[in-house]
């Protein structure tokens, strides 16, 4: 699984780095979010909440910042 690749660094010396360290494939049992939301009202409520989370200045809890980013 652990592949090592030799590449040249910026200084010109050859160094050994790790290659891909993940298992290829797709996760099993992943449900799309639409499968969890049955009605149109549920989908709209989900989207409104997400929009409020990303584009609002009145956040709650640990997300609230004193100065905007």
17-68 pLDDT, tens digit each: 888 887 777 777 666 766 788 888 988 888 888 776 676 666 555 556 666 6
Higher pLDDT, 11 or 22: 11
* pLDDT for position 13: 93
Is the pLDDT reported for residue 3 higher than 90? Answer: no
Listed in sequence order, the residues at least 6 apart from 3 whose beta carbon sits closer than 8 Å to its beta carbon are 18, 19, 20, 21
């Amino acid at each position: 699984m652990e592949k090592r690749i030799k590449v040249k660094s910026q200084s010109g010396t050859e160094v050994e780095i790790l290659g891909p360290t993940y298992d290829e494939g797709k996760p099993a049992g992943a449900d799309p979010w639409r499968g969890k939301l049955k009605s149109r009202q549920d989908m709209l409520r989900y989207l409104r909440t997400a929009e409020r989370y990303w584009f609002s200045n009145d956040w709650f809890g640990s997300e609230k910042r004193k100065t905007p980013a």
